[in-house]
Every structure is written in C-alpha cells, then in structure tokens.
Structure 1
Amino acid sequence: MRIGILGTGNVGQALAAAWLRAGHDVVLGSRRPGDEELLTGLKELLQAGLQVDDPAGAAAHAEVLVNATPGTASVALLASIGAPALAGKVLLDVAVGFLEDESLSHQVVSLGEEIQRAFPDTRVVKSLCTIDRAVMVAPESLEGPSTVFLSGEDAEAKRIVGGLLADLGWPADALLDLGGIATARGQEHFALLFIGIALSTGTFKFNIRFVPPAAGAEAS
C-alpha cells in the first residue's frame, strides 16, 4: 500500500520504519525535503526504501495519509495541501495537541473531529494516540495483550487502518472500535492520564487493556 506520513519526528520515523519492513511504499512528507541534516538523519530509512517529499507530494502519493504532526499545527498543514488533494483519502490521525503550559489544545472538540469537519470528503480515522511510539510499532514488547482504539465515521476506512495496525503487530482482538469521530475526544484526553502514569512509573513504554466482565457475572 502507498502510505504518506506527514511529520518527520520520532513518531513519523517509527511508523515509516515499521511499514517499510512490512513491505509498504512509504513517503515521508516534510516542509524541508531537501534539507541535508534531515536526510542524514534518515539515512537508514532511505536505504530501506523510504522516499522524502514535501507534504503535498506525500499526500499525492498516498492511499493512506498519516498525520503525525504536532496537533496544534495539523489543520493548517493539511489546509496548505488543500481539500481537493485530500478528498476520498483515508487519513489516519495519530496526533495530540499540547499548548506551552502542557494543557491540551483541543479541550472540547478533538483534533480528529476538527480535521474531519475541515475536510468532510476525507475519511478520518483516529488511532494510536494513546500509546508511545515504541509501543505503536512493537505491541509484543509488553508483558501481555493490550488495547488500541479506533474512532471514525467510515467503516471501510477503519478496516483499512486495522490492516495497517496488523502490520505493526496488533492482533485483531486488540482493536476496539469506539464508534464515530466524536469518540476521538476520549482518545486524545487520555494523553493527560498517560503522562501521569508515565511520570509515576518512570516509563512511557506501557499500554492499557479493556478487560470485559467475567463470563456469567451479573450486570450491575
């Protein structure tokens, strides 16, 4: 599959490396695609087949476009690409926006919802924003099974994203479809609890798991 990733930071690079290993055709979108320092830092990924282009080029390449940019800048960057170029595409949004005081930039309406409203013809799916980049691409590194969430309006888009999650190592029973894009609010707000857990335990490499009631347990 042709994947375009917007954002050249740690998350974008981790996802690019994992999907390259799975055999996908990956283009990383950067505002400075010819920057020598950037290309030097991406040397191993380039040798593995990664391509680097500007954001519009990454979007044009993509069957699935991944937003791994800072959440406070995501909508503006997507607007610079333009709604017509994004129409019909699956957009996997993994971003969360933080302000300088470390509060969330999207406290009422989630970034996922804002993107979907700004680009109604784009099929937005929110996922992977509840975990660290290391766990995103290696769920088997945890002691046991855990859960990754999906939010979005388009069932086929969520199926496609589910396939890409499988290529990262997530089994089908780890995926929990929360429903429409409004449920992305819960995913993004989990970032505050995530930080609290990380600071308390001294590690960002963890996840949570949905644990259903025991068989035969009476409903409350």
Structure 2
Amino acid sequence: MARSARAGAAVSVAHMRIGILGTGNVGRALAAGWSEAGHDVVLGSRRPAGRGDLGFAVAGLTETAADAEVVVNATPGTVSVEILGAIGAPALAGKTLIDVGVGLSDDFTELSHPNSSLSEQIQAAFPQVDVVKTLCTMDSSVMVRPDRLAGPSTVFLSGDSAAAKRTTARLLNDLGWPASWQLDIGGIASARGQEHFALLFTGIANGLGVHTFNINVVPPPATR
C-alpha cells in the first residue's frame, strides 16, 4: 500500500507501477515524489546504460512503458509524439498516460501546438490510451511539494476517461495535492488551455524573478 508523506494528503489505496518517460528535472522530481509515497517507479531513457547516477531504476523507453500500470510523459513536448511512436502502441495500449509535457520553442515564446495541444495529439495518435493532462502549469519543484508555497493552489486535470482521471487524482494526492486543490476542467480538448498557460507562466516568472509559484482558482462565495 502506498503512503503519502505530504501534509494533509490522504493515504493512497493502491500501490502502482509507474513508468516515467524522460529523465530531466520533471521526470526526476516526479520519480522522487511517487517513490516517497511508496510506488514502484522506473525512469525511461533513450540511453539507459550508465544512468545509475539518477538514483532510480532506469530502463529503455519501451520496456518502461510496457511494464508500467501508469505511464507518464515527461519528454520534451516538441518530440513527445515521435518518441511515443517509437515506443509503439502495443506497449501503451489500455493504460493511463499522464501527460505533463508542453511543446515550446527554444526561446519560450511559441507553442509547437498553437491550435491544439500535445495531449490531444497523443490521444489522437494512440486511441487505445487514456490520456490525462495535468501538472504542466507549474515548475517541477511545485509539482511534488505544493506545500512549499504560502497557501493553497490549483492543479488541473483534462481527459476523456473518468477512470483515468480518478487514477490521476489519487496519484496527485500522493504528491500532496488534496482533492480540494484539484480541478477537473473537462475533456482532453481542454488540455490546450493548460498548455497555453505556459506563455503566461513565463511572463509571471519574469515579473516575480522566480519560477517557484502557482496559481489558485478562487471561486465566488457560496450562495446561501
């Protein structure tokens, strides 16, 4: 049984095998968070040999995806569909794929999917996969430690599968995101709103001078 080490988070009811595609800052941060919560985590790399320095089990991308119950796309958004294509549909079929990627130009001023979203492109390319978009509106440090911030904040979920979103919600809880901080904003088409926030994120980061922040959706007062 997985346990949550985060303040205010409920205990997870399921121990899961999580395959994280990508070994960058995001992939390693998520690996640390879910490992601490008691899940089995493997990082997938295009060059797994000699990556023992990462502190986690590392395997090839196809092996990582095939052995996982939940697959996480933490690869660069500009090449994610190509990488997933190389892995192949059989290794991904029937699984929840949590997509945290955003396709941005090198200068962070242009999106690679300006009239769509990376998540929509993945879902269209792999119809036997249940894609859920989340965690792409914040820095990797906030993804796994939202309690570092001064108050509550919001993480979004987009996807067409209710079951996949429930699985994702439980895994978010294990990272320290209670249900009251999670907001389901609709089907996979709503992922483009999450990804397009990247441009505003850059502006806010420039204004604050730091990347460690998040936004909080504040609803109107409850009517009585």
The TM-score, its normalising length taken from structure 1, stands at 0.92
Gaps of 5+ in 1: none
Which residue, 90, 95, 101 being the options, matches 2:96? 90
Structure 1 position 61, deviation (Å): 1.3
What residue in structure 2 maps to residue 22 of structure 1?
Answer: 37
For the Cα contact (< 8 Å) 1:27–1:61, is it kept in 2? Answer: no
| Conserved? CA contact 1:91–1:123, under 8 Å | yes
Q: Once the 2 structures are TM-superposed, how far is the Cα of residue 187 of structure 1 from its aligned partner?
A: 0.0
In 1, distance between residues paired with 2:119 and 2:47? 25
Please list every run of at least 4 consecutive aligned residues from structure 1 whose deviation after the TM superposition is greater than 6 angstroms.
Answer: none
Look up the equivalent residue of 2:221 and give its one-letter code: A
Structure 1 match to 2:61: 55
Q: Is the 8 A contact 1:151 1:182 kept in 2?
A: yes
- Superposed CA RMSD: 1.1
Q: What do the CA deviations read for 1:150-175 (whole angstroms, capped 9, x no partner)?
A: 00000000000001000000000000
User: In 1, Cα distance between the equivalents of 2:90 and 2:216?
Assistant: 38
- 1:178: which partner in 2? 185
Q: Aligned AA for 2:52?
A: L
Secondary structure of the residue aligned to 2:28 is helix
User: Which has the bigger relative contact order, CA under 8 A and spacing at least 6?
Assistant: 2
- CA drift at 1:85: 1.6
Q: After the TM superposition, which residues 56-71 of structure 1 pair with which residues of structure 2 at under 5 Å, given as runs?
A: 56-71=62-77
- Could you tell me which of 121, 137, 142 is aligned with 1:135? 142
> Size of the alignment, in residue pairs?
208
2:124 maps to amino acid: R
1:80 corresponds in structure 2 to: 86
How far apart, in 1, do the equivalents of 2:70 and 2:124 lie? 18
By how many angstroms is 1:183 displaced? 0.1
Over the matched positions of the two proteins, sequence identity in percent amounts to 64
SS at match of 1:4: strand
Structure 2: segments with no counterpart, 5+ residues: 1-15
